[in-house]
Amino acid sequence: MSELVAYICKKVKKIELSDDSIIKINSKKIQFNLLSLDAKTYLVGLGNKFYEATAQKLDDEKYSISINGKLFEVEIRTTLQEKARKLLEASGSTNHKLEVKAPMPGMILKVKKRVGEEVVSGEPVIILEAMKMENELRSPVAGKLKELFVTEGSPVEKGIKLFSIES
Amino acid sequence: MFKKILIANRGEIAVRIIRACRELGITSAAIYSEADITALHTKLADKSYFIGKAKSSESYLNKLKIIQLAKKINADAIHPGYGFFSENDDFIKSVENEKLVFIGPPSSAVSLMGSKTAARKLMNQNNVPIVPGTTEPIKSIDEGISTAKDIGFPVLLKASAGGGGKGMRKISSEKEFVSSFEATQREALKAFANDSIYIEKYIENPRHIEVQIIADKHGNYAHLFERECSIQRRHQKIIEESPSSFVDMATRERITRAAINAAKACGYYNAGTIEFLMDANKNFYFLEMNTRIQVEHPVTEMITGIDLVKEQISIAAGNKLSFNQEDIKINGHAIECRIYAEDSNNNFLPSSGKIIEYKEPAGPGIRLDSGFSRNSIISVYYDPLIAKLIAWSGDRKSSINRMIRALSEYYISGVINNIPLLNLVLENKNFIDGNYDINFIENHILNKKNGNIVSENPDIEGLENAAVILASILKTKSAPKESLHSNINNNRWLDQLYE
């Protein structure tokens, strides 16, 4: 049996995986049927309902999974990995630092804040031009702009660190 | 008729034009950029020519290369689709100068209508009602502020060369003016290579009603009724229908007559659309004329039976309209959903990436105009439109139900898409009752606090469980067991073959 912890849609799920057809999610026993159709596509059966799924491995602990066309990002760790991560987090700095990454490749059109400046939650920090549109990238929390990793006019790839906010 | 047409576009509209060419027995020549080598239009065209790097300015907006290519391959005509060069009078003039035919209006009509301010002036002179505001571009920020104060806030800032909802901003107060003005200018310069801006009164809660017109080079004009395109986000349409549930017979008579007048005023030929804003009292105001085929043209095709793209080609070749106004009746009701690669829960941020799995809906009354397939890349360089899904039925309610059914069959994975948002609109009582305006998405669908869409998929628990199960298996095992059907040796017909 494997014990895992998954994060999906900001929710934590405790998982006990017994075999190829029985799983406990937050202590609820679920019988399932999982078939691989090709390298990236799967069929998941839960009771009398079938779901079409595709999966992409983002890194060792993260998968991008689409179920019936709805996209989920699932973080998944063994209980051991999860304990190690929590320890590491607790030993880090007391101030909480949040990094914002580029949601898509594009070009940095404008940087609206300077390092050290206060921002409120939802305030635009960077304007990223992509797909012929100006997209405001906002601070997810209130705090201070701690670091800025990009400059105006520079192209960025998806997932590149843009800025960090200390809250 | 033409023998060969160069299609100066990409995505679903390029595919749409290839299909029309094929039905007419015309050779279709597509162009593709580095990013589009696997795109559907590249594979579907009779001939496909590499045009340049992914960036539009080096490919689909490279005038010289496109015209040189058309000459080199002996194309008779160029179809511009929508966007890119479709409303660029300079491009049209160059095409005309090279003795090629532009499938669209004359450059003179495009210049007139391309400048939104000149168009407003012309409409005003021809008894087509316009929205109060300036008929000249604003020269300075000070002038803009004083004009805005005269008309009264809120006002809209609009790019004179704009259209399609790009380069447009609402300003509610004087203090927002400077930053909004500069942002609109930047966007306008980038999108339309022209940064002049004008001001219009902001009409509260209007509906967007537009009229499809079509005219030949012999002076025959016809309209193909109205489309309602009030369901918008970021000032861009996502659901369109025809006929409008709001427009009655008398209003239809008035608005289609105004549209024909507008087309005549600029000496128009080929397909075009006159866009109007309509207030709660069914007063309508000229917004702009789109001098091209529109994204939402299929709903008109479904209710009238006219193939607008084939008609465009025939008109460009010098033929008369293939029908008379009296022959055209509204048959049933059609609705279109634009399937965008974007995140409705994140300020409609476009999503890019590879489409890993893709299944299209089908069945009675369904049409899908798509530019992508499995393994296609939604590129960051272009518009995030994946496809247009169109449902037709005898009346509005049943075509809405048909659309909901078709959306439930549509499966796109690998990129985030707006199908959940479209479903919420189609199932909303106000939408079903025809009780909505252009602010519907903000007012009824988005959560005012966080901007996310209001409700969730009713089976969210099942979806999440399926995702968690798949992740658990992938994490702990190298691969799940394979489907028996993927193994060709298990095909019982194969055995019989060798018996």
> Does B59 lie in the same domain as B91?
yes
Q: What Å distances lie between residue B304 and B53, B246, B385, CA to CA?
A: 40, 19, 25
Instruction: Say how many CA atoms lie within 13 Å of B315 toward its Cβ.
Output: 30
Among B201, B223, B254, where does a domain finish?
A: B201
Q: Which residue has the higher pLDDT, B403 or A154?
A: B403
User: Does B192 contact A at CB distance below 8 Å?
Assistant: no
Q: What Å distances lie between residue B24 and A125, B312, B392, CA to CA?
A: 52, 12, 24
DSSP character at residue B397: H
Task: With beta carbons under 8 A apart, name residues in chain A contacting B357.
Answer: 40-41, 52, 54, 66
How many angstroms separate the CA atoms of A70 and B420, rounded? 8
Q: Is the peptide bond before B420 cis (omega within 30 degrees of 0)?
A: no
B161 C-beta neighbours (distance < 10 Å), count: 22
Identify the closest residue of chain A to B356 by CA–CA distance. Answer: A54
> Cβ neighbours of residue A156 under 8 Å, at least 6 residues apart?
A102, A105, A106, A107, A108, A128, A150, A162
Task: With beta carbons under 8 A apart, name residues in chain B contacting A126.
Answer: none
From the number of C-beta atoms within 10 Å of its C-beta (0-12, 13-18, 19+), residue B220 rates as middle
Q: Can you read off the two tokens belonging to residue A152?
A: 């105006």
Percent of chain B with pLDDT over 90: 70
pLDDT for B61 equals 95
Are B186 and A70 inside 8 Å of each other by CB?
Answer: no
Please check the confidence at residue A52 and state whether its pLDDT lies above 50.
yes
CATH 3.60.150.10 fits A2-93, yes or no: no
> How many structural domains is chain B composed of?
4
For residues B315 and B214, the answer to whether their CB atoms sit within 8 Å is yes
* Cβ under 8 Å to A: B residues 347-376: 347, 349-352, 356-357, 359
Render A100-135 in DSSP notation, one character per residue: EE-SS-EEEEEE---TT-EE-TT-EEEEEEETTEEE
Task: With beta carbons under 8 A apart, name residues in chain A contacting B470.
Answer: 34, 42, 44, 53, 55, 63, 65, 67
Q: B117 in a domain, yes or no? A: no
Distance from CA of B372 to the nearest CA of A (A): 15
> Cβ neighbours of residue A111 under 8 Å, at least 6 residues apart?
A125, A126, A148, A150, A151, A152
Are B417 and A55 inside 8 Å of each other by CB?
Answer: no
Task: Name the residue ranges covered by the structural domains of chain A.
Answer: 2-93, 97-166
> Cβ neighbours of residue A121 under 8 Å, at least 6 residues apart?
A139, A140, A141, A142
> Cβ neighbours of residue B477 under 8 Å, at least 6 residues apart?
none
Asked whether the ipTM of the predicted complex exceeds the cut of 0.95, the reply is no
Please say if B227 is a catalytic residue.
no
> Does B340 lie in the same domain as B239?
yes
Q: B238 in a domain, yes or no? A: yes
> Does B335 lie in the same domain as B274?
yes
pLDDT for A159 equals 79
pLDDT in tens, B427-457: 999 999 999 999 999 999 988 777 777 666 7
What mean pLDDT comes out for the span B386-391? 97
Give me the residue from A8, A53, A131 closest to B350, CB to CB. A131
**Which contacts (CB < 8 Å, 24+ apart) does range B92-98 have?**
B94/B63, B94/B67, B95/B67, B95/B70, B98/B67, B98/B70, B98/B71
What mean pLDDT comes out for the span A12-22? 90
Please check the confidence at residue B486 and state whether its pLDDT lies above 60.
no
Nearest of B136, B89, B82, B83 to residue B113 by alpha carbon: B89
How many angstroms separate the CA atoms of A8 and B476, rounded? 17
pLDDT for B454 equals 67
Q: Give chain B's count of helices (H) and strands (E).
A: 17, 22
> Does B143 lie in the same domain as B281?
no
User: Does B384 contact A at CB distance below 8 Å?
Assistant: yes
pLDDT for B162 equals 74
What mean pLDDT comes out for the span B377-406? 95
How many A×B Cβ pairs under 8 Å? 165
How many angstroms separate the CA atoms of B177 and B148, rounded? 9
Nearest of A99, A124, A112, A108 to residue A157 by alpha carbon: A108
Task: With beta carbons under 8 A apart, name residues in chain A contacting B351.
Answer: 104
Render A51-95 in DSSP notation, one character per residue: EEEEEEEEETTEEEEEETTEEEEEEEEEHHHHHHHHHHHHHS-SS
pLDDT in tens, B333-384: 999 999 999 988 888 888 888 888 899 999 999 999 999 988 888 888 898 9
Among B445, B470, B488, where does a domain finish?
A: B445
For residues B295 and B82, the answer to whether their CB atoms sit within 8 Å is yes
Please check the confidence at residue A82 and state whether its pLDDT lies above 70.
yes
* Residue B323 parent element (H or E): none
pLDDT in tens, B36-93: 998 999 999 999 999 999 989 999 999 999 999 999 999 999 999 999 999 999 999 9
pLDDT for B238 equals 97
Instruction: Supply the CATH number for residue B383's domain.
Output: 3.30.470.20
pLDDT for B498 equals 45
> Does B93 lie in the same domain as B142?
no
From the number of C-beta atoms within 10 Å of its C-beta (0-12, 13-18, 19+), residue A3 rates as middle
> Does B377 lie in the same domain as B245?
yes
State the residue range of the domain holding B60. 4-103
> Does B400 lie in the same domain as B258?
yes
Q: Where does B127-193 show beta strands of DSSP type E?
A: 155-163, 166-171
User: Does B191 contact A at CB distance below 8 Å?
Assistant: yes
Rg from Cα positions in chain B? 24
Please check the confidence at residue A96 and state whether its pLDDT lies above 80.
no
Q: How far apart are the first and last CA of chain A?
A: 40
Give me the residue from A2, A35, A129 closest to B480, CB to CB. A35
Task: With beta carbons under 8 A apart, name residues in chain A contacting B384.
Answer: 131
Q: Which residue of the set B227, B292, B367, B396 is catalytic? A: B292
> Does B84 lie in the same domain as B20?
yes
Are A55 and B347 inside 8 Å of each other by CB?
Answer: no
> Does B197 lie in the same domain as B212?
no
Instruction: Supply the CATH number for residue B34's domain.
Output: 3.40.50.20
Mutation target among B475, B477, B486 for the A interface, most CBs of A within 10 A: B475
How many angstroms separate the CA atoms of B124 and B133, rounded? 12
How many angstroms separate the CA atoms of B344 and B417, rounded? 8
Identify the closest residue of chain B to A127 by CA–CA distance. Answer: B183
B293 C-beta neighbours (distance < 10 Å), count: 27
Q: What Å distances lie between residue A50 and A32, B216, B485, CA to CA?
A: 10, 53, 16
How many angstroms separate the CA atoms of A63 and B193, rounded? 42
* Cβ under 8 Å to A: B residues 27-86: none
For residues B273 and B289, the answer to whether their CB atoms sit within 8 Å is yes
How many angstroms separate the CA atoms of B491 and B482, rounded? 15
* Cβ under 8 Å to A: B residues 287-306: none
Identify the closest residue of chain B to A75 by CA–CA distance. Answer: B471
Q: Give chain A's count of helices (H) and strands (E).
A: 1, 16
Give me the residue from B414, B474, B486 closest to A38, CB to CB. B486
> Does B150 lie in the same domain as B35?
no
CATH number of A97-166: 2.40.50.100
Please check the confidence at residue B164 and state whether its pLDDT lies above 80.
no
Q: B120 in a domain, yes or no? A: no
Q: B286 in a domain, yes or no? A: yes
Among B201, B229, B249, where does a domain finish?
A: B201
For residues B98 and B108, the answer to whether their CB atoms sit within 8 Å is no
Identify the closest residue of chain A to B352 by CA–CA distance. Answer: A104
pLDDT for B188 equals 85
A95 C-beta neighbours (distance < 10 Å), count: 10
Pairing of strands A106-111, B207-215: unpaired
Are B467 and A46 inside 8 Å of each other by CB?
Answer: no
How many angstroms separate the CA atoms of B357 and A63, rounded? 16
User: What proportions of chain B, in percent to the nearest 5, are helix, strand and coil?
Assistant: 40, 25, 35
Percent of chain A with pLDDT over 70: 97
